[in-house]
A and B are shown apart, each in its own frame.
Chain A
Amino acid sequence: MSVYDYLYFIILPVLALSALLIFIRFLIGPSLSDRVVALDLLITTGIGMIAIYSIITDQPTFLDIAMILGLIAFLGTVAFAYYIEKKKRK
């Protein structure tokens, strides 16, 4: 079993399953904070998938996209935290 088989048949299905579970939490999440955490985790799972496709297709350029996606996920979480705190203070 080569590394590519391992990536295709074990890692990618596990990541897809976790993305599905996180998306269910994103839909039913009772509070806004649950949804924000689920969104952050969804993007992090996406970064993992991009990294694996970058290994499979031998394209290091995809890693830059993963980097920018990580930056935007961080910024989005910070912005949500900022506005949730601002809303609570009113």
Chain B
Amino acid sequence: MKSSILQTATNYLLPLLLLFSVFILLRGHYLPGGGFVGGLIAATAFVLHMFAHSVRHTRKLLRIHPGYLMPIGLSLAILSGFAPKIISGLPFLTGIWFPEPIPVIGMIGSALFFDTGVYLVVVGVSLTILFTISEGT
């Protein structure tokens, strides 16, 4: 399907949707949002690009195979779980926080890194599934 309207719109929508997904990811500790929804929105952005162009173009845009995002995200989540045990001897998955909030992002703690790991796993899983399906047909 070659539609230049959809292709031009997608080129502008992709960065906006990725920005929105990062916003949802960072907001997720106290308000609705979080790693899972943010990852789904990021995957939706790439799927829209895949429909407008082709699977080959989207793979070139991603640079790495989306399957590699799953182990990266899982190891990030595991490390954020073990961080309080290594740093201050607290139990596994205790939330530790930096004392000062950082502008724009807000308070940074181990929960943010756990959510980022979930985000990467969700992007990797959904993109692997959808690329495989659309290459199979």
Question: Which A positions have Cβ atoms within 8 angstroms of B?
Answer: 61, 64-65, 68, 71-72, 75, 78-79, 81-82, 85-86
**Interface positions of B from 2 to 27, Cβ below 8 Å from A:** 6, 17, 24
5 additional contacts (CB under 8 A) given A61-B32, A68-B41, A85-B1: A64-B24, A75-B48, A75-B51, A78-B48, A86-B1
Q: Are A82 and B41 in contact (CB under 8 A)?
A: no
Q: Are A78 and B51 in contact (CB under 8 A)?
A: yes
Question: Which B positions have Cβ atoms within 8 angstroms of A?
Answer: 1, 6, 17, 24, 31-33, 37, 41, 44, 47-48, 51, 137
Cα of A85 to Cα of B117 in the assembled complex, Å: 38
Q: Are A82 and B1 in contact (CB under 8 A)?
A: yes
Cα of A64 to Cα of B20 in the assembled complex, Å: 10
B32 proximity list for chain A (CB < 8 A): 61, 64-65
Q: Are B51 and A72 in contact (CB under 8 A)?
A: no
Give the distance to chain B from A53, nearest Cβ to Cβ, in Å: 14
Cα of A65 to Cα of B20 in the assembled complex, Å: 12
Give the distance to chain A from B49, nearest Cβ to Cβ, in Å: 11
13 contacts between A and B (CB under 8 A): A61-B32, A64-B24, A64-B32, A65-B32, A68-B37, A71-B41, A71-B44, A72-B44, A75-B44, A78-B6, A81-B1, A82-B51, A86-B137
Cα of A65 to Cα of B31 in the assembled complex, Å: 12
